[in-house]
Structure formats: C-alpha cells, structure tokens
Amino acid sequence: MAATNFKDYYQILGVSKTASADDIKKAFRKLARQYHPDVNPGDKTAEAKFKEVNEANEVLSDPDKRKKYDQFGQYWRQADQAGAPRSSSSSRSPFNNTAGFDDVEFGRYDNFEEFINDLLGRSPYGGRDPFRNASYRAPGGFTTDERATAGENLDIEASIKLTFSEAFNGTEKRLSVNNEEINVRIPAGAKVGSRVRVRGKGRSSRFYTSQRGDLYLTVELLPHSFFQFDGDGNLVCEVPIAPDEAVLGTQIDVPTPDGTVKVNVPAGVRSGQSLRLRGKGWKNQRGERSDQMVKITIAPPKEVSEIEREAYEKIRDNRSYDPRSAIKSVTL
C-alpha cells in the first residue's frame, strides 16, 4: 500500500494508540450505528464512512493485525501476507469471514443478523416492536421508539373494502400484495378505520433477506341501503310510519343484523325521535354488541283513497290541538 493511501485507523475510530480493546469496541459500535446504511438510506458519504470504520475496526480489534499495523504502518498488509504469525483460531469469532467484528462476543447471538439488530438497536420485526405498549431498552441501548426509527420501515399500508355483512360476520379475502396472492382473515366486528395486521406480508429488507415487515389493512365499508353508524359506535337506521300510527301507536318490524325484530312504537311519537334497541347493534372483537338506534319518521301518503280523505278531513275539522301554538308569539 502506497504511503499516500495510508489510513490512520486510530484517527478514523477517534481513539488513541494506547486505547484498550474495550475502548476500540465501544468507538466502533458508536460509529457503526451512526453511519450504517439502515440509518442513512441512500447517503453515499455515510456508506463510505461506514466501510472505513469497518475496515479500521477489522484491523484494530484483532490483536495480531493491530500489532503488525503498529509495527509496520502502511506496510502491515505486506507483513501479514509474508507469513507473520496469526492469532490462534480458537480465540477468534466463529464468524471468521465477517469483516470488522472480530472483537465482539458472538456467543450470545444465534446468527450474524441478530448481532446487526443489536448493533443498531433494531427490533427483528421490521422496525416495529410486537409488544407495542412495552417500554424498555434493548442491548444496543436504544428505546423502543428509537429502534423503530433506526430500522428500515418494511411495513405496508393498504385499504380493504368490505360489505356490512362481511364486516359484521367476519370474512376471508384473497388479496394480491407485492405480486403475491395471500388469504387474509378479517375478524367479525370490523368497522370503518379498523386496522388488521397481517404478519410477515410486508416488504423484504434490502439488507437481510430473512427479515420482512407486516401488512396493515385499514377497513373501508361499502354503503348500505339501510344501516349506518353514529359517532358512539351504535348502528343507526330510519323507519317510516304513517300519521295514524304516530297518533295511535303501533308495532312495527325492524331489520337488525340478526334478522327482523318487533318494536313497539308509543302513541304520540314525534318524527325524528329515536327508539333504542339494546344489544342489537354492531359487534366488537369481544363479542359484545352496541345498540341499534331506530329513527322514526312520519311519512304521509302521497295519494289517499276517498275514504281516507274523508277521514283526514274529519280529523282536521275536529282537531283539538294546534301543533303551531308555541310559535305564534315568536318575534325578532
């Protein structure tokens, strides 16, 4: 290696020539986290710096290589190739072909990918912790939120349209995601905005092929001709009754998600008044039910028979109350 290409590995890691092995390891881990491509996607400068830090650590973390480097400077590689004694294989990492990590205790890792996750403080679940409400520090020293920020975002967001029947009863849908056909089970009780997590069906990592994110589906409901939702999660419907039913009271058939039920409408009900059917509304994932609110509207007939007309005229002529009496005294 020419002197003009000489790299001061101590300077690269920011340590002195008398630094201990532990100091070197700490400096390397800090810089590796700072410049790793996962943390700096698309940053060529950071990528080059990461390689340089890796190279420095490869040399200084190996006692034999460090000794040659200290003795021969820029010519340490030639000295190494000339057959200078090397360290015993029993003292080296089991990852012998992995550059830059010879001074790491690999015994507590099952594989190299686990070490990288630890180094970056990243969850092995694509940047998302499966225990979402947990608050703890990983071996890398990152909190849960910091680890999610540092890792790749491998999750996919998508929407799925369901009929009211599919959402209420649950269904299974076949979807095409990333050119892959998958079956997705939607649990009973889904509503607008409900999110369904499909594990391991997100994007694959650019760096670790065994790592894959999750697919998150946001539920959209297709319009229904009869049912809607109110702001409290209750099911809402509108049922018309005739004027005579409003005056006299009646019993009507009302559709619910379970089928038709009979509902008593009290005499004198007002148009727009709602009747509550407890436990006849929407399911939740615990199997509990909200209420169904039945909004009453009074629907006068557009056409009447001669008998009906005579009856209505008789009611008009003999009506004992004025429905607009309360507004007669209204002024500005």
The pLDDT of residue 247: 94
pLDDT band at 98 (very low <50, low <70, confident <90, very high): very low
Instruction: Compute φ and ψ for 259, nearest 5 degrees.
Output: 125, -175
State the sign of the Cα–Cα–Cα–Cα dihedral 32, 37, 41, 45: positive
Which residues in the chain are classed under CATH 1.10.287.110?
Answer: 3-120
Instruction: Count the residues in the chain.
Output: 332
CATH superfamily of 156-221: Urease metallochaperone UreE, N-terminal domain (2.60.260.20)
Enter the CATH code of domain 228-324.
Answer: 2.60.260.20
Hunting for tokens 């409408």 — which residue is that? 265
Sheet arrangement for strand 215-221: 156-162, 215-221, 195-198
pLDDT digits (tens, 9 = 90+) for 127-170: 443 333 333 334 333 333 333 334 568 899 999 999 999 999 99
**pLDDT tier at 297, thresholds 50, 70, 90:** very high
pLDDT bucket at 71, cuts 50 / 70 / 90? confident
Q: In the chain, which residues fall in CATH 2.60.260.20?
A: 156-221, 228-324
- How far is CA 197 from its chain centroid? 7
Distances (CA, A) of 305 to 237, 298, 301, 302: 30, 19, 10, 10
Q: In this model, does residue 295 exceed pLDDT 90?
A: yes
State pLDDT tens for residues 263-276.
999 999 999 999 99
| Helix, strand or coil, per DSSP, at residue 128 | coil
Fold of 3-120: Helix Hairpins (1.10.287)
260, β-bridge pairs: 255
| DSSP-based three-state secondary structure for 47 | helix
Which pair of tokens denotes residue 53?
């830090």
Mean pLDDT of 163-180: 90
Cα separation values, 304 from 250, 300, 301, 313, 319, Å? 20, 9, 6, 12, 19
In this predicted model, which residue has the larger pLDDT, 120 or 133?
A: 120
Least confident of 42-51, 143-152, 193-202, 276-285: 143-152
